[in-house]
Amino acid sequence: MRLKNKVALVTGGASGIGREAAILFAQEGAKVVIVDVNTREGNRIVKAIKAKNQVAGFCRVDVSVEQDCKRMMAYAKRKFGGLHILFNNAGIMHGGDGDTQSTDEAVWDLTMNINVKGVFFGCKYGIPLMRASGGGSIINTASFVAHLGAATPQIAYTASKGAVLAMSRELAVIHARENIRVNALSPGPLRTELLMKFLNTEEKKHRRLVHIPMGRFGEAKEMAKAALFLASDESSYMTGTEFLVDGGITAAYITPE
Q: How confident is the model at residue 230, as a pLDDT?
A: 98
pLDDT at 255 over 60: no
- List the one residue out of 125, 13, 16, 19 whose CA is nearest residue 69: 125
- Compute the C-alpha angle 158/238/180, nearest 5°: 90
Q: How confident is the model at residue 254, as a pLDDT?
A: 60
pTM over 0.75: yes
The number of angstroms, rounded, from the C-alpha of 91 to the middle of its chain's C-alpha atoms is 7
Portion of the chain with pLDDT greater than 90, in percent: 83
Q: How confident is the model at residue 257, as a pLDDT?
A: 53
pLDDT at 112 over 90: yes
pLDDT at 1 over 60: yes
Domains observed in the chain: 7-251 (3.40.50.720)
Alpha-carbon torsion (148, 152, 155, 160), positive or negative: negative
Let me know: does 138 contact 126? Beta carbons within 8 Å.
yes
Give the least confident one: 60-64, 88-92, 144-148, 193-197.
Answer: 193-197
| Residues designated as active site | 157
Euclidean distance between CA atoms 101 and 96, whole angstroms: 11
Choose between 243 and 196: higher pLDDT: 243
Mean pLDDT of 210-234: 93
158: three-class secondary structure by DSSP: helix
Kindly provide the b/e burial profile for residues 15-30, where b requires at least 16 CB atoms within 10 angstroms of the residue's own CB: bbbbbbbbbbbbbbeb
93: left (phi over 0), alpha (psi -120 to 50) or beta: beta
